[in-house]
Amino acid sequence: METLLNDFSVGLFFMQAFILLILIVLMRKFAWKPILDALQTREDGIQEALDSAEKAKLEMQNLTASNEKLLQEARLERDGMLKEAREMKDNMIATAKEEAQAQANAMIEQAQIAIEGEKNAAMAELKSHVAGLSLEIAEKVVRQELSNKDKQLALVDSMLADAKLN
């Protein structure tokens, strides 16, 4: 400690303090301030550039996303339209079929009715024919049969027997 104090030079201390003070003031004014400011502005510039790049990237992403969305919408719309068209087609076919069926049914029915009518008419004609024919036959049979007395009686008897059975 003693040698240390002996080595301590008061004059050197003051010179050092003086020089250091002046140096700090000068360096602050002429060197550190402009250097630090320049570094700061440069770093701010870099940060800004990075930020704007990030922003541009984000915007780009947004753009592609919206494009994608538009495309998706268009695709959906197209799909919807196609589906609608298909439905319409199906509908049309179905209605056409139905109509055709109905018409056919109606025609068939009419035809049936006509056939029935024709048949009835034919039956009636046939009946009257048969009746006339039978009457003729009966007339001829009766004329022949009634010429013989015994045969008349036998006929009556058989008829009676038949009636009994009825």
Partner 1 sequence: MYNLIGAGMIVIGGGIGLGMIGSKAMESIARQPEAAGKIQTAMIIIGALLEGLAFGALILGK
Partner 2 sequence: MVATKSIKFLVVFVLALTSFTAFAQDDAVENNLVDSPDEIREYIAHHLKDSHDFHLYTDNASGTHYGFPLPVIVWTSNGLKTFMSSAFHHDDNGEVVVDKDGTKIVKYHTKLYELEEGAAALSFDEDHHPTNASKVIDFSITKSVFGMLLTGLLMLLGFGALARGYKKGNTIPKGFSRVLEPLVIYVRDEIARPNIGDKKYRKFMGFLLTVFFFILILNLLGLSPLGFNVTGQIAVTACLGIFTMIIYVFSGSKDFWAHTLWMPGVPKILRPVLAVIELIGFLIIKPFSLLVRLYANITAGHFVVMSLMALMITMKAAFGPVASTGVSLLLSIFIMFIEILVAFLQAFIFTMLSSLFIGMAVEEHDEH
The nearest distance, CB 2 to partner 1, in angstroms, is 8
Binding partner of 8, given partner 2, partner 1, none, CB within 5-8 angstroms per partner class: partner 2
Binding partner of 49, given partner 2, partner 1, none, CB within 5-8 angstroms per partner class: none
For residues 149 and 86, what is the distance between their CA atoms, to the nearest angstrom? Answer: 91
Q: Which residues are within 8 A (CB) of 146 and not within 5 positions of it... i.e. 6 or more apart? A: 152
Q: Which is nearer to partner 2, 25 or 94 (CB)?
A: 25
By three-state DSSP, how is residue 123 classified? helix
165 belongs to the binding site for partner 1 (CB under 8 A): no
50 belongs to the binding site for partner 2 (CB under 8 A): no
Binding region for partner 2 (CB under 8 A) out of 35-43, 70-78, 96-104, 114-122: 35-43
Q: Do 149 and 143 contact (CB within 8 A), yes or no?
A: no
The nearest distance, CB 56 to partner 2, in angstroms, is 22
Binding partner of 50, given partner 2, partner 1, none, CB within 5-8 angstroms per partner class: none
Closest CA to 142 of 129, 133, 151: 151
6 belongs to the binding site for partner 1 (CB under 8 A): no
8 belongs to the binding site for partner 2 (CB under 8 A): yes
Torsion of CA 38, 42, 44, 49, to 10 degrees: 160
Closest CA to 82 of 31, 42, 90: 90
3 belongs to the binding site for partner 1 (CB under 8 A): yes
The nearest distance, CB 4 to partner 1, in angstroms, is 6
User: Which token pair is 49?
Assistant: 């550039």
Q: Write down how long the chain is.
A: 166
Q: Give residues in contact with partner 1 (CB under 8 A).
A: 1-4
